[in-house]
Structure 1
Amino acid sequence: MKLNRRGFIGTLAASGAVLSAPAVLGQAKPRVVVIGGGAGGATCARYIAKDSDGAIDVTLVEPADIYYTCFFSNLYIGGFRDFDSLAHRYDKLTGEYGITHARAMASGVDRDAMKVTLEGGETLAYDRLVIAPGIDFVDGSVPGWDLSKAEIMPHAYKAGPQTQLLKAQVEAMPEGGTFCMVAPPNPYRCPPGPYERISMVAHVLKERNPTAKILLVDPKDKYSKQGLFEEGWQKHYSGMIDRIGPDFGAANVEVRPNAMEVVIDGEVEKVDVCNVIPAQKAGLIAAAAGVTDDTGWAPVNPHSMATRADPNVYVMGDASAQGDMPKSGFSANSQAKVAAMNIRSELTGSKAFPAKYSNTCWSLIDTDDGVKVGASYEATDEKIASVDSFVSQTGEDADLRKATYEESLGWYAGITADIFG
């Protein structure tokens, strides 16, 4: 199905349908606290407030006034979007839906007392808690790199100033210089994301610095849309991109930011720009709340997105361990609507429907050369399970690839309207 803004929003009712019941007169409103204002958290907050018709008190804990989407940030690096197009405010959530925006970091969760502590010491009581903190990085996963080195070797995997820094570094590369990416191990945010980024960097260098080289150091044997990316790189950027996989030492990598060196299985490579995307885990507040396991992610009930550790705490999006869905903005938005439906049902007596989920990930390889992968999912007792999937094919004609790219633009407009109002 071709998606545009209206078409995307029109598909949302299937995963978030609810029949609301009014709160009992004289009874205090039930309280929901949502930690994290991204695709999962903001969607969940909006749907709870909107579809409960004010019967539930919703507080969004998010220190920023503006959220920059990580999805589509690669297109900014490639010069296909401006930075402001990634920026979204919370004004409609607070003004139109009555959501309280607590501009602070959550520093702790007391699940026994059902309270969230903010960085300034204030506490927020809740009847249900939503934790949607996105990702944090695994310390030491790339020897030589930590967050203190991100101004030299940026990760740019949380959108904002890091994205701007990486773009500026690419554009300032010396003639014939080397761009290096250290790709992450599974699982991580947006499986095709590193490879779309390679494509966008190649697009910039092809225009500005055509003798430059790209070195992709990848610890994985295979990756999302691999055949499509490799076909596109050969077509558009022949001879520019060199991928080193685990068989050639990519599982043994060290970086030396101050010297701008990457050490691959003992062999030193001098580079001009290095994008280090480390191994990932759930945002730190999920671990602080005690809802993560030894993997660093938060296991959830596939039917509701409530955590396995506590039925009053919900986790969605990148931070969740839920089964077959990739960690993506589309997934987070889809999961958030299921969580919102179940939270409303529990707190207001409204009807909940069986959970259904969907996801599509688009990637741009070069101008008007868009590809996609996606699936529909259902909840089982064990996991969210894929029931039907699709992927672009190699050898597609230019008109289809252009249509796929244009579809992604419609989706972005639709999903950001659905998240932020």
Structure 2
Amino acid sequence: MTGLNRRHFALMLGAGTAALSMPAYLRAQEKPSVVVIGGGAGGATVAKYVAKDSAGAVDVVLVEDSDTFTTCFFSNLYLGGFRDFGSITHTYDQLQSTYGIRKVTGRATSVDREGKIVTMADGSTIPYDRLVLSPGIDLVWDSVPGYSEEAAQRAPHAWQAGPQTQLLRERLDALADGDNIVMVAPPNPYRCPPGPYERVSMMAHVMKSKGFANSRIFVLDPKDKFSKQGLFQAGWEKHYPGMVEWYGPDVHGGIKMVDAAAGTVETDFDTFSGALLNIIPAQKAGAIASAAGLTNDSGYCPIDAASMRSTMDEAVYVIGDASIAGDMPKSGFSANSQAKVAAMNIRADLTGSRAFPAKYSNTCWSLIGTDDGVKVGAQYEPQEGKIASVTSFISQADEDAALRKATYDESLGWYAGIVADMFS
């Protein structure tokens, strides 16, 4: 079908035959078509805003390999017992019923950019006028010696939310006093910079709540510093004294081998043993981005800072974790913000509507202990070819308990708001 537009394809088959044999999302459309691959904070948002704000003038197809979406953001609160799993899992029902978005459940495997056709794992194809890639991340398994997709069933990463998140929770709940946890944190760049350290806080919270006095969490980090480091380390000392030990590369000297079956992580400094290993490897853009030829040597996708358009193909936009977004971190808030800029520019492409100058924002909240929330964030604009931070803020070390609780409450309101913005 390469090189055929939708009308020519329908005529070639014959109207009656085409109507009987083709899936609904392949039938000829008179209006322009946008295909969105990935149904998370970026993909669901851009699909909704293109469909809603074009008032039906654009056909929108959302491709996601699951019927539901579990957010990575707030999954640490599920681990810590502050949320249930259902509260972080959402459906696409309202996007379909309210905005007329056509949801295709399946995996996109390739993109013919010249012919503007997406091919699915089952062999079906979906044509597009504009394509949005929001596939999130894939894991670079061999970035941690000894780790693999198979090993992740014993030593979960839980950096792609869903079954892995539930597995990590099961392993955490099964620990007894005296059992240790060993985390291998990821190298930059990765999804949710404060995420590993909020996770440490939540795992420590669970152990403290159970009265564990003899368990430790060892964090082996390839980075010499991390997001909100001072806030997290002060919080660990306050809430979980003596329970968390963080080792940077200048101390551990590098990860030599992970043995998931034995529960050990070997470093130059020592071999660490844990009843629970949480290994978070390096990351890259989701596989469809590479298959489409839109990544560079970093493993991520370069974009135009003013529009989120791929620098490699003017008919493609890349948003969220898969993009190289300058100063913006890879977060759900960032993806949602980028999606709105992309949606505006897609509508301008296809309907002639006005595109305004891009503005982006992000906030990352983290929970350290009960009612002890902290945050970091910024506003961003395109500058000198990249998305640049223009103002920023971070929680302060000397904040009182009332302010920390207010910050946590603010995060709850944000979560309710962003999932409504994505899915309803």
Q: Which TM bucket (shorter chain)?
A: over 0.9
Q: 1:196 aligns with which of 198, 220, 236?
A: 198
For 1:266-345, list aligned pairs within 5 A: 267-345=270-348
Letter in 1 for 2:215: A
> What secondary structure is seen at the aligned counterpart in 2 of 1:292?
coil
Aligned equivalent of 1:121: 123
Aligned equivalent of 1:393: 396
Q: CA deviation at 1:250?
A: 4.9
The C-alpha deviation readout for 1:43-65, integer Å capped at 9, x for no partner, is 00000000000000000011211
1:239 to 2:242 alignment? yes
Aligned equivalent of 1:414: 417
Q: Distance in 2 between matches of 1:210 and 1:68?
A: 33
> What secondary structure is seen at the aligned counterpart in 1 of 2:241?
coil
Aligned equivalent of 2:34: 32
Q: CA deviation at 1:254?
A: 1.7
Indicate the larger mover: 351-360 or 159-168.
159-168
Q: Distance in 2 between matches of 1:95 and 1:354?
A: 31
Q: CA deviation at 1:322?
A: 1.7
Letter in 2 for 1:384: I
Q: Distance in 2 between matches of 1:187 and 1:301?
A: 19
1:65 to 2:61 alignment? no
Letter in 2 for 1:417: A
Q: Distance in 1 between matches of 2:246 and 2:128?
A: 48
Letter in 1 for 2:191: R
Aligned equivalent of 1:140: 142
> What secondary structure is seen at the aligned counterpart in 2 of 1:410?
helix
The C-alpha deviation readout for 1:272-314, integer Å capped at 9, x for no partner, is 1000000000000000000000000000000000111101110
Aligned equivalent of 2:132: 130
> What secondary structure is seen at the aligned counterpart in 2 of 1:358?
strand
Q: CA deviation at 1:251?
A: 2.7
Moved over 4 A (4+): none
Q: CA deviation at 1:252?
A: 2.9
Q: Distance in 1 between matches of 2:271 and 2:389?
A: 42
Q: CA deviation at 1:249?
A: 2.0
Aligned equivalent of 1:98: 100
Matched-pair contact (CA < 8 Å) for 1:42–1:60? yes
Q: CA deviation at 1:210?
A: 3.0
Q: TM-score if structure 1 supplies the norm length?
A: 0.93
1:220 to 2:223 alignment? yes
> What secondary structure is seen at the aligned counterpart in 1 of 2:99?
coil
Matched-pair contact (CA < 8 Å) for 2:253–2:269? no
Aligned equivalent of 1:42: 44
Q: 2:110 aligns with which of 91, 108, 114?
A: 108
Matched-pair contact (CA < 8 Å) for 1:129–1:314? yes
Q: Distance in 2 between matches of 1:210 and 1:171?
A: 16
Q: Distance in 2 between matches of 1:381 and 1:341?
A: 21
Unaligned stretches of 5+ in structure 1? 1-26
> What secondary structure is seen at the aligned counterpart in 1 of 2:142?
coil
Aligned equivalent of 2:156: 154
Matched-pair contact (CA < 8 Å) for 1:73–1:86? yes
Note the aligned Cα RMSD (angstroms): 1.2
Unaligned stretches of 5+ in structure 2? 1-28
> What secondary structure is seen at the aligned counterpart in 1 of 2:272?
strand
Q: Distance in 1 between matches of 2:379 and 2:102?
A: 33
Letter in 2 for 1:378: E
1:259 to 2:266 alignment? no
Q: Distance in 2 between matches of 1:184 and 1:210?
A: 28
Q: Distance in 2 between matches of 1:129 and 1:381?
A: 26
> What secondary structure is seen at the aligned counterpart in 2 of 1:140?
helix
> What secondary structure is seen at the aligned counterpart in 1 of 2:122?
coil
For 1:14-33, list aligned pairs within 5 A: 28-33=30-35
Aligned equivalent of 2:356: 353
Aligned equivalent of 2:13: none
Q: Distance in 2 between matches of 1:109 and 1:117?
A: 6
Q: Distance in 1 between matches of 2:197 and 2:113?
A: 39
Q: 1:183 aligns with which of 182, 185, 198?
A: 185
Aligned equivalent of 2:169: 167
- Which structure ranks higher in relative contact order (CA pairs < 8 Å, sequence separation ≥ 6)? 1
Q: Distance in 1 between matches of 2:397 and 2:260?
A: 38
Q: CA deviation at 1:28?
A: 1.6
Q: Distance in 2 between matches of 1:173 and 1:116?
A: 45
Q: Distance in 1 between matches of 2:313 and 2:66?
A: 28
Matched-pair contact (CA < 8 Å) for 1:328–1:361? yes
